Amino acid sequence: MLHWIRKSLLIICLAAVGWTAGAQDRGITLPDMGASANRMLTSDEEAEYARDITRYLRAHDLLEEDPLVHAYIEDMGYRLVSHSTRSSRNFQFIVIDAAQVNAFAAPGSLVAAFTGLILAANSEDELAGVMAHEVAHVTQNHIARSMESAQQTSMPVLLATLGLALAAGMAGAGADVGQALVAGGAGLAQQMQINYTRQNEHEADRVGLDLMARAGYDPEGLVGMFNTFNTLSRAYGAGPPEYLRTHPLSTTRIAEAKSRAESLSRGGYEETPEFYLIQARVRARGDRPAVAERWFRSRLDREEGPFPEAHKYGLAMTLIRQGYYEEAGKLVDQLLEEYGPTQMFRLLEVDLLVARGDIADAVDRMAELHNEYGSSRIISTRYSEVLLHEDDPNRAQTAIGILREDLRNRRDDPQLHALMAKAADRAGDPVRSGEAVAQTHYLRGNLPEAIIQLERLNQRDDLDFYQRSRVSARLSELQAERANLSRRERARHTSGIRQGTETADEALMGLQAGHHHH
């Protein structure tokens, strides 16, 4: 548990190079966890940090793992990366399910966007501006160049933060504290702003604008996002959320970005409804259904937005969630007839069929989509879910075939392993199911439970030679990992971390206050 709690440190510390919109105007900058010329962290350690951050977020249910939303952000990220000078880097893009208007870059070429950022953006170009800025932080080695300086000036903050994380772990802290560490973490570090951060921000703007132009996005989108931040800040009046007060958005920086954006050409891409559909999906999934329904109806009544189908799509999603299937069905039919049988609209139709209980029809629709988009994670995942909606061994066998193919390319996807566990159980293969359950726990940051599952499997007396060999080998790997983590935690604890625990209670109170405010 302590290992995963400790990873919250990274999320907090990465605000210095991320797009946090919080305490920097008040002289607060958080220490950076990068590696100076690869001397602080090796490439393997960076990859481990990126992997562990993701698992920590999963363990606390802080990742938005909807395949459609994740695929959209990932596609945008790789589109930008492909036009950079470091396109060979192994980037990873994730979406954090939190209302903050935020994004950050982390060691291991990890870039995270918050759902609050997706909702705050007024266009795809604005969202791309933030993503390009974060990609630029990675390609320009800002994380690597910053840690040495941050370590020299911020060690007391690091110790206090780590003391808090350890104290929370020892106390058995759960998801609430995990969310508080993410949502309120910017309030922990009380360090004066230093020049290299401002320099990094200007360079990330310049490089990000160039990336946007080469990738076909309008560079004016970054300037538009600056204006969006200012608008949000004014809307909150005297007490805006902390994320709107921390980013050093100076007049000079805005002017420089605007001047450079005006000198760059867009690249000829036309705006499509995809961003607005994804934005509607995020809102429909995140808000209470009745609240989201009112929001979409009001926009449709006022005919707001360039693509009305996005509001109709979101409204249909909220109606399905509330059980209003007749009106939802009319909207789905309208979307398919007026705007075409796109993948998103056909998947929405399947959602309606499943909600109504028309599983056979839903399976048929998904079979058609799978024939057309067989290699798509979005389709294969949803197809497997529909096949497993009812306890049918034959459908479970079909799902196993689909999932086995998917897992060859996406071995670190806990959603696929969870589906495999369900499919194998229904198909009468309890050993394969147990192995998949263990791997799901492991990928979601619960190493102890993964070990318990494998120990139970290993105690069965009906395993054949190959099954026992496979289970025993995996169990040994996880036990060795647990022992290594324990050694690392003891080493950190005995190297002076106790110095930071004095501020843990005060810091935890601040985090919890920030989380409740959020």
pLDDT score at 199: 81
- Per-residue pLDDT tens for 356-405? 999 999 999 999 999 998 778 999 999 999 999 999 999 999 999 999 99
Mean pLDDT of the chain: 79
Q: What is the DSSP letter of 22?
A: S
Answer with the residue of higher pLDDT: 282 or 264.
282
Of 357, 388, 409, the residue at which a domain comes to its end is 357
For the chain, the maximum distance between any two Cα atoms, rounded to a whole number of angstroms, is 72
Both 330 and 183 in a single domain?
no
pLDDT score at 457: 97
Both 223 and 316 in a single domain?
no
Of 244, 267, 290, the residue at which a domain comes to its end is 267
Mean pLDDT throughout 101-125?
91
pLDDT band at 247 (very low <50, low <70, confident <90, very high): low
- Per-residue pLDDT tens for 48-71? 878 888 888 888 888 999 999 999
Both 243 and 302 in a single domain?
no
pLDDT at residue 245 tops 70: no
Both 259 and 309 in a single domain?
no
Both 75 and 99 in a single domain?
yes
With CA atoms as reference, report the closest residue to 104 among 72, 67, 56, 142: 142
pTM of the model: 0.81
Both 199 and 110 in a single domain?
yes
pLDDT at residue 338 tops 90: yes
pLDDT at residue 514 tops 80: no
Give 311's Cβ-side CA count (13 Å radius). 16
How many CB atoms are closer than 10 A to CB 384? 27
- Asked whether residue 497 is domain-assigned, the answer is no
Give the separation between CA 423 and CA 32, rounded to whole angstroms. 43
DSSP string, 190-238: -----HHHHHHHHHHHHHHHHHHHHHT--THHHHHHHHHHHHHHHHHTT
pLDDT score at 254: 86
- Per-residue pLDDT tens for 184-224? 433 333 333 334 477 888 899 999 999 999 999 999 999 99
pLDDT score at 129: 95
- Asked whether residue 205 is domain-assigned, the answer is yes
Identify the domain containing residue 330 by its residue range: 276-357
Both 124 and 257 in a single domain?
yes
Both 205 and 313 in a single domain?
no
Q: Which of 32-41, 309-318, 392-401, 498-507 has the lowest mean pLDDT?
A: 498-507
Instruction: Look at the chain and report how many structural domains it folds into.
Output: 2
pLDDT score at 150: 54
Most confident range, picked from 81-90, 112-121, 238-247: 112-121
Phi-psi group of 288: left, alpha or beta (phi > 0 → left; psi -120 to 50 → alpha; rest → beta): beta
